[in-house]
Amino acid sequence: MTLLLLATAALAAPATAAPPGAADAAVLAGEAAGPAIVPAAAKAITGITTANLRLRTGAGTKYKVINTLPKGTRVKLVSKKSNGWWKVTVGTRTGWVSSAYLTLSTKATTNALGYISRGLTYRDKGPNKSSRVVLTFDDCPKTLTAFDAVLKYAYANNIGLVLAPTGACISSFRSKYGVNIAARARAKGQWVINHSVSHVDLRPLSCAAGAKQLQGSGVLSNYGRPPYGALDGSVECAYATAGMNIWTWNVDTEDWKVKNKALTVSRAINRASAGSTVLMHMQWYGFSPDSIRQIKAGLGKRGLKLCRAYRGSDNTGPISSAPRYLPSSLPC
């Protein structure tokens, strides 16, 4: 009973808004109850996680967390310790998980290790083929007020931002404020792309499980940004399955790391060049009217312009609702 309750709580816990590199911050209490005794099936070669579960560097909770494996992840069993911890491989990684939340199977894992790229569109500058700089903001805004302030500023100044909220973020704003932030942003001529449902590293997942993370409550679009920018063949397969192109970035402000407005702004200004895609996050300091105003002014001094809000495919009409499906060449 305790185990069941814990597993349920683990699933219900939000895992949104973790900036790149901070996967552990949103980690769930998968194995918190400690190892339970699971009799090893004689020929079990695969384990399937029954809750969101931590993959660690050693056989115990004192070891460092490598990653959180979402419920339903298939892992390859390597060996088991007497304390009930399994050494497993998942994707290209090897680590340890508690057996308390593993169902054992005799079927082979389906992680798409041998996946060969199908040649889908995937590039750091995405569909921005113009010389204008596009500012992109991932994850989740802190408040609706903060979000609306940026939308209002961008609209008034004819700036087209790219926003990549997680599905969990959209759900939380819907339940908290009764608002669909993706629709709200598009109505102001802003581009909104997918950033998975719950911001997990997609690499350890099977292609099918990865595709599921890109669907459900996630943003419906033809472009998506993988959490942490983490890519491998399995992730490519997931995007192809979900019918989505991958858009990463080529300028990283590391706003989540520096936690400093002036530094975030100056990095966006000084690291950008013509056609750049600049990465920031909605919960950090680049996401405010004043930061964007400073970035616009600073880029202007360097002879660079920001992408404009959507004004039709020929970019001539008044600002109108940006489409879900981005054109292959963004009218920046």
Residues that bind Zn ion (CB under 5 A): 138-139
In sequence order, the β-bridge partners of residue 86 are 80, 97
Non-local (6+) Cβ contacts of 300 within 8 A are none
Helix ranges restricted to H, 160-248: 167-177, 181-187, 207-213, 233-241
Q: How far is the CB of 31 from Zn ion (least distance, A)?
A: 25
Q: Which is nearer to Zn ion, 97 or 193 (CB)?
A: 193
User: What is the C-alpha to C-alpha distance for residues 290 and 78, in angstroms, rounded to an integer?
Assistant: 53
Sheet bearing 74-80, strands edge to edge: 65-69, 53-56, 93-98, 85-90, 74-80, 46-49, 102-105
Question: CA-CA-CA-CA torsion for 273, 331, 189, 156, nearest 10 degrees?
Answer: 60
- Residue with smaller CB distance to Zn ion, 279 or 330: 279
Q: Which CB sits closer to Zn ion, 7 or 197?
A: 197
Considering the complex, what minimum distance in angstroms separates the CB of residue 139 from Zn ion? 5
Closest approach, Cβ 58 to Zn ion, in A, equals 28
List the one residue out of 331, 330, 275 whose CA is nearest residue 303: 275
State the minimum distance, in angstroms, from the CB of residue 199 to Zn ion: 6
Nearer to Zn ion by C-beta: 139 or 201?
139
Name the DSSP class of 227.
G
In total, the chain counts a number of residues equal to 332
CB of 197 to Zn ion, least distance (A): 12
Give the nearest residue (CB) to Zn ion: 138
Q: Which is nearer to Zn ion, 23 or 102 (CB)?
A: 23
